[in-house]
Structure 1
């Protein structure tokens, strides 16, 4: 009887939320239950980014939304780039404007170079400057066997996750050079360091992002542009129900050392830190909000 009780307790602990799934990536925050937490109620801005302008890909929801709202609370105007989740983007815009800052929404495919160039131009035209580029957009498609990864999936995953960073950085760097203290922040993943047997192509892109971050940081150091990255662990974002089965989503994050999935706001502060003068002596580095998993990266 005691063993059965223990098993029931473990099952209850592992299930963190109602089973749910979505049929299309990158997913919609408006359909999630419970909703992710973008900003702590007690987070007090201190003008760390006052007068600056930032472009954030994947800024409509999840970690990107948290970054957008926190940047606004710290005094920055923000441009959010997203695919086609218009309701989520409008909600993020409302939250940014509630902080008294301007928000530009731009819908399109970050895997398209011309779109990336256009997004940078629109941001500079709207705000008159670009100080911070945050690359947060991503997609992932689980496959148990490597021969199940089609050429189409492989190309799409790399195009969204890493090609987009090249395209955006190429377009952004000429503008960033004009702004002292400018910064690029890329989003990699804990999977870049420990791998993931069911997300081989996704993990490969995240490893590429780590190498790209380190290489670009050295390339741009003399221009005064800092390049760093954040490697989240299991974070409750729309990409999760849009990726995994209902059963996996219900237990998502329960195997982390802290025993739960993280919230977007538990990553957002990393992006504030890396964009601010608090990180003025950091470039080529990666922060790891992952619930306690030690990956020595």
Structure 2
């Protein structure tokens, strides 16, 4: 037998498992304060040139799933606009990873609740890359609220503007620049199917994203543009300790079949698939990545 052969990865023991010694963080949380550190594929992801020369735009790319996708896209040969809200330190680390892969990284700070910010992001991609082949709508706002009467109009408005309205703004701005073969990938959640009562607003936005994905896929199919979504279950990102109690964070992900949350790097390959020519017959689909909890 070849000495270079690899053993299959045991999904129950290969990654960090709860309990986690993670203290709470202020919103929106920071990667370098995570304990244990999140794995974005820094040591494991190997590219094969599937996105060579692509121009891509990823929202929420400073940390978590967005950083893992940016790293994977870059190692597949893509240039990346790294859209983020305010986490400069994290965004610059994502830039370092993209540039280390030999690709161009554009760090773009701004609030995608605003349509002008979304238009500017697309303009930056076109100015820097001359093309936009993949739009990844990944950024999200989430906070846990235990009582219905504690929801404010401002809170609900922010959640929908960040999680849903921004997708309309970004798609509207990007699609006119996209050519046949381009794709849009949206991040929804298991919360769309199995919602937690203390995430009422967040869960309902994730349901809206599924409808948005399926309708948009039909709208842009005549142009040869594909639209799909990824529905993660629990994923170890800064959003967890910055929006959940210390007790819930400690046990986070222990309700999956693998008794742990996903690491961001475990999700990135599906985004790469959906962005690549290997997915040329895939549109209007939702890919569940939930550690066995997918209820559909």
Q: Bin the TM-score by the shorter chain.
A: over 0.9
Structure 1 counterpart of 2:262: 262
The aligned runs of 1:164-203 (5 Å cut-off) are: 164-176=166-178, 179-203=179-203
- 1:119 partnered with 2:121: yes
Structure 1 counterpart of 2:148: 146
Q: Displacement, 1:40? A: 5.8
- 1:21 partnered with 2:24: yes
Structure 2 counterpart of 1:229: 229
Deviations along 1:89-110, whole A, 9 cap, x unmatched?
A: 1100000111110100000001
Q: Displacement, 1:44? A: 2.1
**2:32 paired residue among 6, 30, 35:** 30
Contact 1:120 1:172 in 2 (8 A): yes
Output the CA distance in 2 between the equivalents of 1:66 and 1:38. Answer: 4
Output the CA distance in 2 between the equivalents of 1:49 and 1:204. Answer: 33
Output the CA distance in 1 between the equivalents of 2:294 and 2:106. Answer: 38
Structure 1 counterpart of 2:215: 215
Structure 2 counterpart of 1:272: 272
- 1:293 partnered with 2:293: yes
Deviations along 1:81-136, whole A, 9 cap, x unmatched?
A: 00110010110000011111010000000100001101110111011111000001
Q: Secondary structure at the match of 1:55?
A: strand
Q: 1:181 to 1:38 in 2, by over 3 A?
A: same
Where structure 1 has 5 or more consecutive residues not aligned to the other structure, the ranges are 1-12
Deviations along 1:50-105, whole A, 9 cap, x unmatched?
A: 11010000001100000000000001000110011001011000001111101000
Contact 1:16 1:260 in 2 (8 A): no
Q: Displacement, 1:14? A: 7.8
Structure 1 counterpart of 2:13: none
User: For this pair of structures, how many residues does the alignment match?
Assistant: 281
Contact 1:19 1:247 in 2 (8 A): no
**TM-score, structure 1 length as denominator?**
0.92
Structure 1 counterpart of 2:130: 128
Output the CA distance in 2 between the equivalents of 1:106 and 1:42. Answer: 27
Q: Secondary structure at the match of 2:208?
A: helix
Contact 1:19 1:250 in 2 (8 A): yes
Contact 1:77 1:102 in 2 (8 A): yes
Structure 1 counterpart of 2:4: none
Calculate the aligned-residue CA RMSD, in Å: 1.3
Contact 2:145 2:199 in 1 (8 A): yes
269-278 or 34-43: which moved more? Answer: 34-43
- 1:77 partnered with 2:79: yes
Output the CA distance in 1 between the equivalents of 2:214 and 2:180. Answer: 20
Q: Displacement, 1:19? A: 3.3
Q: Show structure 1 runs of 4+ deviating over 4 A.
A: none
Q: Secondary structure at the match of 1:162?
A: helix
Deviations along 1:206-244, whole A, 9 cap, x unmatched?
A: 000000000000000000100000000000001111100
**TM-score, structure 2 length as denominator?**
0.93
Q: Displacement, 1:41? A: 2.8
Q: Displacement, 1:246? A: 1.1
Q: Secondary structure at the match of 2:221?
A: helix
Contact 1:266 1:289 in 2 (8 A): no
Structure 1 counterpart of 2:244: 244
Q: Secondary structure at the match of 1:230?
A: strand
Contact 2:56 2:81 in 1 (8 A): yes
Output the CA distance in 1 between the equivalents of 2:18 and 2:93. Answer: 28
Q: Secondary structure at the match of 1:143?
A: coil
The aligned runs of 1:50-129 (5 Å cut-off) are: 50-129=52-131
